[in-house]
Amino acid sequence: MEPFEVHILGCGSALPTTRHNASTQVVRIGNRQYMIDCGEGAQLQLRKSHIHFSFINHIFISHLHGDHCFGLIGLISTFGLLGRTSPLHIHAPEPLHEIMQPQLDFFCKDLAYRVEFHTIDTQKNSVIYEDNSITVETIPQKHRIPCCGFLFKEKPKKRHIRGDMMEYYNIPLYMRGGIKEGNSFTTPQGEVIPNEKLTSAPDPSRSYAYCSDTLPCPQNKDIIEGVDLLYHEATFADSEEARARATFHSTARQAATIAKEANVKRLVIGHFSSRYTDETILSAQAKEIFPCTELADENIIYHIK
């Protein structure tokens, strides 16, 4: 199966610490890579991660707080120095384009590639990106400013050709592409063999949901139902629940409750407040609700099988 990985480049919150960088991730699906959020130092983290800069063509920005987007200008500039020529697409709420244009005009006027901004409506669940293997949907969030999460979902895959059946019916090679697409086969005797008999079930379509920064949003249950991996912000522990509410963030327990109610397979929590020098209190509280919880950390790669 093609790789489907989530690389954590930063999982801290607004105040960077010596342990955590600002929010940045790279989702790798096959040979394509998508960046989610781009905090200050994203390009430095990217370099440490050995992710190929040139394979990133789309960046999805959840919201316009600095810890989720201050890394963009440095990244764009460095892409230029590295000789990039293919367009870079930035999907973000307004008015990012307007804020960045003066910087691009001044610092990046000799770029050999285009930077294209695509405005996101954060409060509507819709497909904002699509290629031949995946879709990316927005997940409306509740934060102090317009904010959304992102759902990465593989499209339904093709069924597998059954070698034994190809041999049994002596099906010529040139017809097998059509059978993979769903064709049936008619024998020289005129018997029609249905596709289901010639093929086996396709690989499951995998999915990943990113939810940060937000109050718990149980109304998103249907959107993230059953995802293979959910990254949910868990800025605070139980003791700071009032503060979480006041600042439009979630506690680890609330993140776990979302994971449980949406029947996700695995939960990773992140966006830790700088007050925690050890986040095991957060994972402990989350695990009481949803045992399959992990703590994010810089340079961890989550593989979705």
User: Hey, is 103 helix, strand or coil?
Assistant: helix
Run of H or E residues at 4:
strand 4-10
Instruction: Give the Cα separation of 196 and 151 in Å (integer).
Output: 30
| Site membership for a copy of itself, residue 141 (CB under 8 A) | no
| Site membership for a copy of itself, residue 161 (CB under 8 A) | no
User: Hey, is 18 helix, strand or coil?
Assistant: coil
Query: Of 67, 203, 228, 278, which one is the catalytic site residue?
Result: 67
Q: Which is nearer to a copy of itself, 73 or 300 (CB)?
A: 73
Instruction: Give the Cα separation of 252 and 240 in Å (integer).
Output: 10
Q: Which residues contact 195 (CB under 8 A, 6 or more apart)?
A: 159, 179, 182, 183, 184
| Site membership for a copy of itself, residue 127 (CB under 8 A) | no
Among 9, 29, 41, 61, binds a copy of itself (CB under 8 A): 41
Task: Tell me which residues in 12-31 interact with a copy of itself (CB under 8 A).
Answer: 14-18, 21
Among 1, 2, 3, 81, binds a copy of itself (CB under 8 A): 81
Interface stretch with a copy of itself, choices 93-101, 131-139, 150-158, 256-264 (CB under 8 A): 93-101
Among 1, 32, 55, 103, binds a copy of itself (CB under 8 A): 103
| Site membership for a copy of itself, residue 174 (CB under 8 A) | no
Run of H or E residues at 129:
strand 127-130
| Site membership for a copy of itself, residue 70 (CB under 8 A) | yes
Interface stretch with a copy of itself, choices 55-63, 72-80, 152-160, 183-191 (CB under 8 A): 72-80
Among 5, 107, 175, 261, binds a copy of itself (CB under 8 A): 107
Instruction: Give the Cα separation of 143 and 162 in Å (integer).
Output: 50
Q: Which is nearer to a copy of itself, 53 or 129 (CB)?
A: 53
CA end-to-end span of the chain, whole Å? 8
Omega before residue 87 within 30° of 0, cis: no
Omega before residue 213 within 30° of 0, cis: yes
- From the list 251, 152, 246, 163, the residue with the least C-alpha distance to 200 is 163
Q: Which is nearer to a copy of itself, 80 or 216 (CB)?
A: 80
- Is 228 considered catalytic here? no
Residue 113: CB minimum distance to a copy of itself, A: 16
The type of residue at 186 is: T
Contact 56, 20 (CB under 8 A): no
| Site membership for a copy of itself, residue 119 (CB under 8 A) | no
Residue positions annotated with a catalytic role: 67
| Interacting residue ranges for a copy of itself, rule: CB under 8 A | 14-18, 21, 40-41, 43-44, 47-48, 64-66, 70-71, 73-74, 77-78, 81-82, 95, 98-99, 102-103, 106-107
